[in-house]
Structure 1
Amino acid sequence: MINYILQVVLFQVFFLAIYDFFLSKETFFTKNRWYLVSTPMLSFLIPFIKIPTFQKAVPEEFIVNLPEIFLSPEKAIQKTITETIFYETVNYVTILFWMGVAFFTILFVIKLVKIISLIKKYEVVKQPDFTLVLIPNQTQAFSFFNYVFLGKNIEESKRNKIIQHELVHSKQKHSLDLLLFEFLKIVMWFNPMIYFYQQRITLVHEYISDAIVAKSETKESYINNLLSNFFQVENIAFVNQFYKKSLIKKRIIMMTKTQSKKMNQLKYLVLIPVLMSMLFYVSCSETASKEEVLESKKAKQTLYINNNGKIKETTGKEITFLDVYLGFGKGFEYPNGKELSIDDLNEGEKKEFLEFKESSESGEDFFLKTRIFQYNKGRKVIVFSPLDENITETLETEEISFMKIEKAPTFPGCETGDKDCFSLNVQKHFSKNFNADLPKTLGLEAGRKRIFIGFKIDKEGNIVDVKARAPHEKLEQEVLRVMNTLPKVVPGEHQGKTIAVKYSIPFTLVID
């Protein structure tokens, strides 16, 4: 989406640059109007136009896929697969976008209500082609569709010319152009090009009206009338105003300008190579983006937990190629999707899969088998099968999985049964007390190293049966030391009974 928005803005910059450099000084006002209305809309459509011929024009050997760069702080310990350690992240960009949309929508509604209130509040005079709204004690003059708003304090001798001017706006539906840009400002309020477009279309509207009305008298007389009408102006963006001080000079210059030669219309042909370049760009960039999707797309990792046939979905913070699918209980089923082999994975996916597989298919109390499937939203998932009986519920021995317990153990300082708080504090304890300098002394290769930790909280709230699996014996000893210093907690409850709870935490240790 961000790439699409950047393309839209870039294309609008090019279109507006063409207008300013080649067309804005020409007297082809109607053509310029349609240029300014059509090109911003064209900018929204061009990214969707893919021409296969252009895609084939660039030889494949010239499309270079750069290797992935993964940066991590030296002392980073990242959690990866446990349900209670995955936290939803807030997308502040999305929130900011919708706040802007709401703000500009409210502004638009306020302006619209202001116009409606003027129509309802003041004297309305029906005319054959328009409706005149007379505003007392004002010298305002503007139009909105078939409504012409006129201050009663405007001299009678000047009213006729002003009405003629505004009727041109009305008959040519200039208000539709301005409303279009008001809507574009709502959906793309952050795009400065929309505001520049609106300024230029407003000026072109005045050029059109001036050119038509000035034909009924000499240009000198019309210019003198224009200079003498220093009216108040309503601050409403989507109305056509007879007088706007910032536009007067430009309008007078354009009225006194010699009519452009018809040959100058060839300037519009400059659009052809520009449009071809844009289509070439989006077509070729689409080819590259498709390869990226197939070869190297990463996203926030999603955890799917199938608990006796019921699937719960949680999105975490870690950016990965692969998602994770965990199974528990007798009702477990594999995900709906095609099972893949390791040969179906790209290099990044293959590396991740092998790391997971190595960490999960050995040692007791952990998952014993991994498979991979094509799953939700085109993402591939690593599936951990429920082959270890310690993962499923065993009420007969008064032990239960942390993820199935009704009332989880309570960490000191947390609210009763708060699983998220429990998991967060266990993570903080581990990160704070783990000797992050130790891995650098063990001669381990750089990269991500999986550390799996298992422990039990007994019926008295003690941390017992701590087990660890790590790529080095000293790491395992360090993990055991840290986890054995966890404070005593309030034990968990299930079906009204105090019960022991098994808990496993996979961590990723990043070694630079």
Structure 2
Amino acid sequence: MINYLIQVILFQVLFVAVYDFFLSKETFFNKNRGYLLSTVVLSFLLPLFKIPTVQKAVPQQYYTLLPEVVLSPQKVLEKAAWYQSVNYLDVVFWCGCFLFFVMFLVKLERIIRLILKYGIRQQGNYKLVLLPKETKAFSFFNYIFLGNEIPTQKREKIIEHELVHSEQKHTVDLLFFELLKIGMWFNPMVYVYQNRISLVHEYISDAVASKSDKKENYINHLLADIFQVEHISFINQFYKHSIIKKRIAMITKTPSKKVKQLKYLVLIPLLGSMLLYTSCTSEQDTIEKKSVKQPIKVYEKKDGKIVEKASSGYQSKYLDLYLGDGMPSTREYAIDELTEEERDEYAALLKSFNKIGVIQLKFRVFEAENGRRMVALGKPSIEKYKELGKTTQLDAGVVPFSLLDKAPTFPGCAEGDKDCFNKSMMKFVQDNFDTSITKGLDLTSGKQRVYVRYKINKDGNVTGIEARAPHATIKEHVEALVRKLPQMQPGEHNGKKVSVGYTLPITFEVK
């Protein structure tokens, strides 16, 4: 969610920058209104779009799943008092939402109170509310509020101006941003957008109202007196001192040439780059989706097509199987993209093959036709496999375990000894995992699991550390723990030192 919000704010900054530099000085007021409204909506939608072809073109990194490290019962800690487990960031967020919701209701109540207190005069297609002993002038939907102290000769021009707001539903725009502020009160760009749209509303009304009179006379109405202002952000105000200078400048401005509408085309490369950016990034939710067991489907390849074998459906599993030669052409998943249930099943399957001594050249996960994920157990020739690896995996700079000539070596182990590597990693975690950091964390009773992903680079150093944990405190601790790993002897492929990725699962119980 944090990544999503950052992308939303970033896109809004870019959209507003384009507006300020290219469009705000032009007289295409209605188009500018449409630009501001559409881009604020687009900023929320664009991070959700992922272009599959772009995602597939970006080489994925592959990680070897290490044996699970289970912490001993002596390291299991009790849950602490409730106040130690409160997520104060969430508290601040919801308090802010509540405060802005109350402020919204207060503003709405002030308008309703004015209507009920002073009554309505039906005037054709609008309703007039006269405010005694006031010089305010503003509109809300088809209600026009007019101070009784405003001279009679000036009222007609003010009403004409406010009717444009009413007829073009400008209040809807302002209410939209008011509601947006309730959930995004911390986002400064919402306030910037609201300021820009309010100014565009005034430009639109001025452009229409000034046509019926000389521009000089209309400008005099703006400058004649100092009027009070009703400080309600979702009403259209005739007199607002901070923007009168800009309004006068725009009224007297020569209409922009139509060719300048081509400036809106700058949106095309901007949107393209945003879509490319969102397609090349992904966000892993801290709350994982749960898989459902289904009768297993076993696939094979016949005449170049992947088909279901007749032996399918003999038991229920989270993952399907692919037993054909070669690899499927569907989307491939990294191990840490699987759900917790799928990773457990994958690890159990991998362990069972290791026990019987089967050398599995390929042990990868792909998307099946039914939307589930399938483990590919095909065994093509080594030459074919290495050729495939060079074109799809080695470009990513991280080599899968099955392609290595020599696996990385933990200090104190024999060169390339995988078993010693696994045992050394397990001992390192058990010796260095400080379970006291779980004090005060509101963790659900039962088994809790942490996944930490990292690489051993060409120099034998640990890099690219990313953890997924049930709590941010545990995540930070595990990442710091892996950073303490000693320098190792790097893996080799085709006589060259290469980077190797790992995924390390750590399990502990909470009572």
**What is the TM-score of this pair, normalised by structure 2?**
0.56
SS in structure 2 at match of 1:132: strand
Give the drift of 1:53.
Answer: 2.1
CA 1:218–1:50: 2 relative to 1, 3 Å: same
Residues 32 and 351 of structure 1, relative CA distance in 2, 3 Å threshold: farther
**AA at the equivalent of 1:242:** F
Q: State the partner residue of 1:58.
A: 58
Question: Is the counterpart of residue 341 in structure 1 residue 348 in structure 2?
Answer: yes
1:232 alignment partner, SS class: coil
CA distance in 1, matches of 2:34, 2:287: 42
| Aligned-pair CA distance for 1:181 | 0.6
How far apart, in 1, do the equivalents of 2:137 and 2:429 lie? Answer: 76
The residue that corresponds to 1:13 in the other structure is 13
- Provide structure 1 residue ranges, at least 5 long, that are not aligned to the other structure: 66-77, 300-320, 326-333, 362-374, 383-445, 449-504, 508-512
Letter in 2 for 1:81: V
Is residue 123 of structure 1 aligned with residue 119 of structure 2?
A: yes
Q: How many angstroms apart in 1 are the aligned matches of 2:279 and 2:429?
A: 43
Kept in 2, the 8 Å contact 1:79–1:85? The answer is no
Q: Secondary structure in 1 aligned to 2:280? A: helix
Q: Which residue of 2 aligns with 1:2?
A: 2
Q: Which position in structure 1 is the counterpart of 2:304?
A: none
Post-superposition Cα deviations, 1:226-258, rounded to whole Å, max 9, x if no partner, equal 111422110000000000000100000001111
The answer on 1:81 being equivalent to 2:76 is yes
Over 3 Å counting, the alpha-carbon distance change for 1:84 and 1:97 in structure 2 is closer
Shift of 1:128: 1.9
Alpha-carbon separation, structure 1, partners of 2:267 and 2:184? 24
CA deviation digits over 1:244-287, x for unaligned, max 9? 0001000000011110010000000000001000000000002x
The residue identity in structure 1 corresponding to 2:46 is I
* Cα distance in structure 2, aligned partners of 1:16 and 1:199: 11
Q: 1:136 to 1:268 in 2, by over 3 A?
A: same
**Distance between the aligned counterparts of 1:355 and 1:342, measured in 2?**
23
Q: What residue in structure 2 maps to residue 91 of structure 1?
A: 87
Residue in 2 that maps onto 1:222: 218
SS of equivalent residue, structure 1 residue 341: helix
What is the CA deviation profile of residues 152-205 of structure 1, one whole-angstrom value per residue up to 9, with x for unaligned ones?
111000011101100100000000000011011111000000111111100000
**In structure 2, what is the Cα distance between the partners aligned to 1:31 and 1:79?**
67
Q: Name 1:32's counterpart in structure 2.
A: 32
Return the offset for 1:58: 3.0
- Highest RCO, 1 vs 2 (Cα 8 Å, sep ≥ 6): 2
Pick closer, same or farther for the CA change 1:357–1:35 going to 2, 3 Å: same
Corresponding residue of 2:45: 45
Indicate conservation of the 8 Å contact 1:52/1:283, yes or no: yes
Structure 1 equivalent of residue 277 of structure 2 = 281
* C-alpha distance in 2 between matches for 1:82 and 1:356: 23
- 1:272 is paired with a residue whose SS is helix
Distance in 1 between residues matched to 2:429 and 2:131, nearest whole Å: 79
SS of residue paired to 1:133: strand
**1:126 positional shift:** 1.0
**C-alpha RMSD of matched pairs (Å):** 4.1
8 Å CA contact 1:80, 1:86 repeated in 2: no
Indicate the residue corresponding to 1:196 in structure 2. Answer: 192
> Letter of the aligned partner of 2:145 in structure 1?
F
**In the TM superposition, what is the alpha-carbon distance from 1:351 to its structure 2 partner?**
12
Query: 1:151–1:354: structure 2 CA closer, same or farther, 3 Å change rule?
Result: farther
1:357–1:339 Cα change, 3 Å: farther
Q: 1:59 to 1:358 in 2, by over 3 A?
A: closer
Q: Does 1:265 align with 2:272?
A: no
Mapping 1:12-411, distance limit 5 Å: 12-60=12-60, 80-84=75-79, 89-286=85-282, 289=283, 338=345, 340-341=347-348, 343=350
Q: Give the aligned residue type for 2:161.
A: H
Matched letter for residue 206 of structure 2: D
CA distance in 1, matches of 2:267, 2:43: 13
Question: Counterparts of 2:267 and 2:37 in 1: how far apart (Å)?
Answer: 15
Find the residue that maps to 1:285 and give its secondary structure: coil
CA contact (8 A) 1:123 1:135 kept: no
Counterpart residue identity of residue 8, structure 1 = V
Q: Distance in 1 between matches of 2:38 and 2:179?
A: 15
How far apart are 1:59 and its partner, in Å? 3.7
Shift of 1:506: 9.8
Looking at structure 2, the residues matched to 97 and 277 of structure 1 have their Cα atoms a distance apart, in angstroms, of 31
Are the equivalent residues in 1 in contact too, given 2:165–2:236 (CA < 8 A)? Answer: yes
Contact kept, 8 Å, 1:229 with 1:243, in 2: the verdict is no
Give, in angstroms, the shift of residue 379 of structure 1. Answer: 7.9
Indicate the SS of the match to 1:139: coil
CA distance 1:64–1:273, change in 2 (3 Å): farther
Distance (whole Å) between structure 1 residues aligned to residue 448 and residue 271 of structure 2: 35
Quote the offset at 1:85 in angstroms.
6.2
Q: What SS is found at the alignment partner of 1:149? A: strand
Letter of the aligned partner of 2:21 in structure 1? Answer: F
What SS does the aligned partner of 2:281 have? helix
Counterparts of 1:379 and 1:447, CA distance in 2: 23
CA distance in 2, matches of 1:39, 1:198: 13
The secondary structure found in structure 2 opposite 1:226 is helix
Using the alignment, how far apart are the partners of 1:2 and 1:64 within structure 2?
A: 25
Deviations 1:404-452 (A, max 9, x none): xxxxxxxxxxxxxxxxxxxxxxxxxxxxxxxxxxxxxxxxxx669xxxx
* C-alpha distance in 2 between matches for 1:110 and 1:195: 18
User: 1:490 maps to what in 2?
Assistant: none
Instruction: Decide which structure has the larger Cα Rg and report it.
Output: 1
User: Following TM superposition, by how much is the alpha carbon of 1:10 offset from its aligned partner in structure 2, in angstroms?
Assistant: 0.1
Output one character per residue of 1:467-495: Cα deviation in whole Å (capped at 9) or x when no partner: xxxxxxxxxxxxxxxxxxxxxxxxxxxxx
Report the equivalent of 1:307.
none
Give the whole-Å Cα distance in 2 for the aligned partners of 1:175 and 1:123. Answer: 21
- How far has the Cα of 1:14 moved from its partner? 0.2
How far 1:89 sits from its partner (Å)?
Answer: 1.8
Aligned-pair identity (%)? 54
Give the gaps of 5 or more residues in structure 2: 64-72, 289-335, 352-362, 364-399, 402-418, 431-443, 452-483, 487-507
Q: Contact (CA 8 Å) 2:157, 2:209: kept in 1 or not?
A: yes
